[in-house]
Structure 1
Amino acid sequence: MAYCAPVQLSQCLLKIVPKLTEMLTDTHPKVQDAGQTALQQVGSVIKNLEISALVPTLLMGLTDPNEYTQHSLGILLQVG
């Protein structure tokens, strides 16, 4: 899905990202790794330079929300 046309991908993000985020908290490490890889692939096709620069920060916030949500939101608020 990450390598579809940008319009197709953007139309599906609202469904895809929450499902992939759920995978990050799965009990099986391989499922967690697959979710992380898929989110990285989706993030790698973003063409907007400001947004693509934030992908690692966003992934940290999604991967470990207890540790990185506040940090990630702080960085997002600075983008303007």
Structure 2
Amino acid sequence: MSESTKVLAAIPGMFYRKPSPEEDVYLNEGDKVEVGDIIGLIEVMKTFYEIKAEKAGILESFLTEHETMVDAGQELAILTEQSE
């Protein structure tokens, strides 16, 4: 049986799925995620804050597009936890 967990924005700002414009995204849908893996960044006034997974699982889907303004508490992605 699997359980879903929503990854939420801790602060308002611009959401990025990449560390920089020239680099690949941190994660793609379907990727395995470990606790502490970076899912994306939120930028506030030229300061970048890492959004990290608090649980392990599979990245089911992103609910927010790359380079989109987000609010605190907004859902960014869904992780599916694999339980036995």
Question: Could you state the TM-score of these two structures normalised by the residue count of structure 2?
Answer: 0.28
Relative contact order higher in (CA < 8 Å, ≥ 6 apart): 2
Structure having the higher strand fraction is 2
